[in-house]
Amino acid sequence: MTSLSATADAPARSGLFAHGARDFTASIVVFLVAMPLCMGIAIASGVPPEKGLVTGIIGGIVVGLFAGSPLQVSGPAAGLAVIVFEFVRDNGLSALGPVLLIAGAIQLVAGVAKLGGMFRAISPAVVHGMLAGIGALIVIGQFHILFDAKPLSNGIENLAAMPGRILGLSSDIRSTELALMLGLLTIGVMIGWDKLKPARFSLVPGALLGVLAATMVAWLGGLQVAKIAVPDSIASAFALPEAGVLGLLTSPSLIASAIAIAFIASAETLLSAAAVDRMHDGPRTDYNKELRAQGIGNFLCGVFGALPMTGVIVRSSANVQAGARTRLSTILHGAWILGFVALLPWLLREVPMAALGGVLVVTGWKLVSLKHPTHLFKTHGVVPALIWAATFVLVVATDLLTGVLVGLALSLLELLPHARNLKLKVAEREMVDTHKVELEGAATFLGLTRINAVLEGVPADKGVHLDLNGVKVMDHTTAETLGEWLARRRQRGAAVHVTGPEPILRPLAHSA
């Protein structure tokens, strides 16, 4: 028998107005991070930039108020840009609102039915493969925005057209060449700032500086390049559905799109919430409450014809790093977006499109990370890494839904060698100063919802003994989840003791 043990410092207190000053300053940082991303993701999704700003406002003020993850920030997400782009291309912008009404209702019902735990049982290989594929599609799509051109209809066509864009450049400095220089300036400032920024200015977002630099050069030089178009009044961006559009709610293809958006948005949100939980020692996420809040938010986005939203890790991590302690920071950041676009729309019209393209190229590139498949291969073996690779390739080569569905189907491969005995027993024992949790049988994603329910019911003020001696097999999804749970317990100061066979404990040690 082998064991793992650890303790950590005690958690900090939290309360809605207990840290008003810190939440106020954090909200300013998140606002500055969110502004260029809201507009950039809207453009990458094939919709006007103000639609992304509306989603950011709803995600901050409304979802922030009801969220089950107090420090998570919601808004337009790069993870949905591709599916929205394809949907708007095929069905038109007016059809997006009805689809989000359905998607939001699905999320709300799922939260009320307490199905949040089911989304957490999705293979991390599938989720990260999906995000990497989306990142690749964003990079090769926004590459064309750098040339003041429109992206083509799919990833393969965009990829094939990239050499032509480069070969089409001329020694004569025209709008295309000027736009490319502004986009490259934005990318250079963002990368340089990430590598060289002084510690005292570490919270200043590189995306904001990159956009500011490109905007100032374009303005001072009077450069004739494409710039973003925003309405004179933000009120016009909150457009109610057109007459007759609600009749689309009965269309089977639109319902299928709504289900896909609800599924992907929920999975990305809840996985982001789990990641945010690892960054702080405050209140843990209530996953069902978070799902309900996301449903309300996406329903409202449907009412106003905005972009779909998810919980987003870039803005959430900025929120935590800036010192936020309660949901007040998230709510205020939405208010700042509303105030800015209501009072200073003329300033947004000076921003070059190529600058936002540069922001999205860097954002997409960061999603295409090989760290996760490398971790999966070293810790869990070949199969999870192959699931990641298959999901990634199919998202890029076909479409998002196909890649995800194939990835989920491939996740069953881990179960095949143990198909005859997939039973799992979960037992709890209350000791004097320790809460003992025993697992016996096959610990796979099929039983992960039950495992999570038991683990999260363990009293926060007691030590825990996780007994895995009866576990015969553990898939990578369960190992990753248990590793994250153990890390959170240790961060909160509870004594943690894990026992079990060495082959079972080894991946937990790497994941925790």
Neighbours of 169 (CB within 10 A): 12
Residues 465-486 have a mean pLDDT of 91
pTM > 0.85:
no
**Tokens encoding 378:** 């070293």
Q: Is the pLDDT of residue 144 over 60?
A: yes
**pLDDT at residue 10 in the model:** 40
Q: Do 443 and 467 touch, CB atoms closer than 8 A?
A: no
**pLDDT at residue 302 in the model:** 94
Neighbours of 362 (CB within 10 A): 22
What are the pLDDT digits (tens) for 30-43?
A: 998 899 989 989 98
**Average pLDDT of every residue of the chain:** 87
C-alpha closest to that of 443 among 414, 464, 463, 465 = 414
User: Among 104-118, 263-277, 325-339, where is mean pLDDT lowest?
Assistant: 263-277
Chain Cα centroid distance, residue 478: 21
The pLDDT-based confidence of 21 (bands split at 50, 70, 90) is: confident
Strand positions, DSSP E, 336-462: 424-430, 434-443
Give the DSSP per-residue string, 199-225: GGGTTS-HHHHHHHHHHHHHHHHT---
Rounded Cα distance between 258 and 97, Å, is: 10
C-alpha closest to that of 409 among 376, 379, 387 = 387
Q: Tell me the one-letter amino acid at 511.
A: S
**pLDDT at residue 15 in the model:** 55
What are the pLDDT digits (tens) for 218-236?
A: 999 999 999 988 887 778 7
Q: Is the pLDDT of residue 9 over 50?
A: no
Q: Is the pLDDT of residue 3 over 90?
A: no
Show the CA angle centred on residue 244, arms to residues 243 and 250, nearest 5°: 145
Q: Is the pLDDT of residue 11 over 70?
A: no
**Which domains occur in the chain, in start order?**
20-362 (no CATH), 370-418 (no CATH), 420-511 (3.30.750.24)
C-alpha closest to that of 404 among 79, 138, 46 = 79
> In this predicted model, which residue has the larger pLDDT, 96 or 202?
96
**pLDDT at residue 511 in the model:** 61
**pLDDT at residue 18 in the model:** 56
Write down the H helix ranges in 304-381.
313-321, 328-343, 345-348, 353-367, 371-380
Buried b / exposed e along 124-157 (16+ C-beta atoms within 10 A): bbbbbbbbbbbbbbbbbbbbbbbbbbebeebbee
